[in-house]
Structure 1
Amino acid sequence: MKLRDAADVTTAPIAALGLVGGYVVARESGIRPLGGVVLGAAGLYAGRSWVAKAGGAGAAGLATVYLGGFGASHVLAKKIGAWPAVLTVAAVSAAASWVVADRPR
């Protein structure tokens, strides 16, 4: 198996799926660290493209949004519920990824 060239990967759906997928895996398996593996794998895969497409500063900003969204979803869930919180942070992370890394220049 060969990974696509980092500059050719669209990261917005990966960021969204990492957050949503991590939540689903943790919830359905009952093993929270397993959800973290999904979150981490998607973040690493998107991160290599963020570096290639947006440079170090852009990648750091997107990683902050991605991981910050993970943390924020826990706080937000207490106010609006788990699914709305996860979907909200996934949408924000995907939008940021598109604006910073994926949008045609």
Structure 2
Amino acid sequence: MRDMKLRNAKDVSTAPFTALGLLGGYLVARETGIRPLGGVVLGLAGVYSGRTWLAKGGPKETAALTALYLGGFGASHPLAKKVGAWPAVIGVAAASAAASHLLVDRR
């Protein structure tokens, strides 16, 4: 296991990871009842995506996508009170994944 290596950052498609981080983080927190565990999923997916954002897009795109990713997480909470938890999480995950694809993954 110590020889496990991450893929080259420039070879990673981040859209699935941003969606996984938001959807998976919510699901893990909901199903386990341990909110920080959901935060771990959110954080790991964000860091993994962030290294590719930086390698392929540079600091401006990384800052913008990080703000959208974390802002979507924050916005999903009040949005969930209006539309429900799953629609809120799916909406912010889709927005983050689409932005990741458009700004970085297409390169």
TM-score tier by shorter-chain length is: over 0.9
Using the alignment, how far apart are the partners of 2:97 and 2:89 within structure 1?
12
Instruction: Output the CA distance in 1 between the equivalents of 2:93 and 2:106.
Output: 17
How many Å separate the matches in 1 of 2:99 and 2:78? 20
Does residue 73 of the first structure (1) align with residue 73 of the second (2)?
A: no
Identity score, percent: 69
What residue number does 1:99 align with?
Answer: 102
CA distance in 2, matches of 1:69, 1:5: 27
Equivalent position of 1:25 in the other structure = 28
Query: 2:40 — aligned with what?
Result: 37
- C-alpha displacement of 1:18: 0.3
The match for 2:59 among 56, 60, 65 is 56
TM-superposition CA deviations, 1:60-83 (whole Å, max 9, x none) = 000000000000000110000000
Indicate whether 1:88 and 2:91 are aligned.
Answer: yes
Q: Deviations over 1:3-27 (max 9, x none)?
A: 0000000000000000000000000
How much has 1:103 moved relative to structure 2? 1.1
Gaps (5+ residues) in structure 2? none
TM-score by length of 2: 0.96
1:7-64 per-residue CA deviation (whole Å, 9 max, x = no partner) reads 0000000000000000000000000000000000000000000000100110000000
Aligned residue-pair number: 104
Structure 1 unaligned runs (5+)?
none
Structure 1 segments, 4+ long, off by >2 Å, are: none
